[in-house]
Amino acid sequence: MKPSSEANIQVAATEKLISNLLRTGVFSSAALVLLGTIVTFLRHPAYMRSVDQQHQLTDGRISFPTTLPAIVQGLGHLDGNAVVMAGLLVLIATPILRVAISIVAFLQMRDRVFAAITTLVLLLLVASLSLGRAGG
């Protein structure tokens, strides 16, 4: 087998892995958000009957867990809001994992330029998440 054929096989395998990751991440996120919404409405049936109760969900009177420990604790209590937030975390983590996998793939292909560029992208993603959290 020629080196270019091996490289093409590796690229195809990496593309398939990334495709599966993105698909799984989006579907898992959607499933968690839907499940969390269902759990919330089952545990609080008043949300379905009262407009005032529904407004509590959207006007900030109901607190959602915003830290990882709070989300994990809420998941342990089957809190629908925590399940929704877990789904959103999965959605946020999906493209970040995609970038991390790309770094590994570029390093395996010995493409240092793209590995460096992709590492910079990952650092920018992590920095933006950190600064966004610090900003409130």
Question: First and final CA of the chain: distance in angstroms?
Answer: 55
CA 133 to chain centre: 15
State the angle between helix axes of 112-134 and 80-108 in degrees (0 to 180), rounded to the nearest 10.
160
* In the chain, % of residues over pLDDT 70: 93
Q: Categorize the per-residue pLDDT at 134 as very low, low, confident or very high, splitting at 50, 70 and 90.
A: low
Cα–Cα distances (Å) from 69 to 60, 65, 80, 131, in that order, read: 21, 9, 15, 19
d(CA 47, CA 10): 51
Its pTM stands at 0.80
Report residue 136 as tokens: 């409130």
Domain spans in the chain, listed from the N-terminal domain onward: 3-134
Amino acid code (one letter) for 73 = Q
Of residues 136 and 41, more confidently modeled: 41
Residue 46 has pLDDT above 90, yes or no: no
